[in-house]
Structure 1
């Protein structure tokens, strides 16, 4: 009877970005039917436990959906921030810690990361250390 709780516990402890471990509603019902079919007839599942498991599944789904929404909102905000840097001179550090500077010419999203396109390289938005005023506002 605790098989569902064990699976739900393992799923919630995994990273939210790992969709392969997330339980679908069909998986939940399959496990629940299996539990009901194989339960001990002398000790049937308590109604309260059954309801608790339903609530756990709904909570897990809501949390996953909320997390995905927040990630999407964050990415949109980062893209908007990066877009406001187009035409501006920036300084930052590459992955090796070497200084990089240049004028932002484009914004690229690659594997969920927002990158600024400089003259001849891409620089992660999170690596920017200085933003200088554009010539138009100076």
Structure 2
């Protein structure tokens, strides 16, 4: 089952400007190649001068170097534009509900926790909710009418009738078909985007009670039909 990564930022933005400067200093540009060729011409053996074919080949190399440099500049512009687009996407998601894959569900101080599973067919879906110590605090049975989404809602009331404390609870789901066949299911839960972090490899959504999730984990923007 795919789960939300609680700390995906360990390797984000770990490059330093010093390293970039060193890399740039170690790279030869077209001007450097031209100086090298000039030195080569001024110090060549008069008895064995540079042939026309060799001269043309070196000019072609200089042209290639210039083309690569221009291409790098163009790609850098694309990267900056994409980063700006990511910022706008992140700002638009803050405060909105999303459905993400997770084996945990976040119960707020008041209200419900909800989500969905992809049912393989008609039957019964059983949800088992466990606290941090591994104790099962509640189970839910939801009828599935057919293949597709089956939503669930947990009101936060434990099996003993008490209100569970706010926080994250583990959740497992299993489907029992009409012929008695059992199947474990992945769970997808509703969460509200509290903020967005822009990493070097994309957007990360900060979800209260669940941690963080990459943008491509989002199954749906909006709540499940629970």
Alignment TM-score, normalising by the size of structure 2: 0.41
Question: Which residues in structure 2 correspond to 1:24-35 (within 5 Å)?
Answer: 24-25=28-29, 28=33, 32=37
3-state SS of paired residue (1:91): strand
Unmatched segments (≥5 aa) in structure 2: 1-19, 103-185
3-state SS of paired residue (2:219): strand
Alignment TM-score, normalising by the size of structure 1: 0.62
Alignment root-mean-square deviation, CA: 3.2
How far does residue 34 in structure 1 lie from its aligned partner after superposition?
6.7
Runs of 4 or more off by more than 3 Å in structure 1? 19-22, 26-41, 97-101
Are 1:73 and 2:162 an aligned pair? no
The change in CA–CA distance for 1:88 and 1:54 in structure 2 (over 3 A counts) is: same
Aligned to 1:49: 57
Larger Cα-atom Rg: 2
Matched residue count? 113
More helix by share: 1
Are 1:93 and 2:182 an aligned pair? no
Aligned to 1:129: 219
Are 1:118 and 2:194 an aligned pair? no
Which fold has the larger relative contact order, with Cα–Cα distance below 8 Å and residues 6 or more apart in sequence?
Answer: 2
The change in CA–CA distance for 1:36 and 1:108 in structure 2 (over 3 A counts) is: farther
More strand by share: 2
Unmatched segments (≥5 aa) in structure 1: 1-18, 134-138
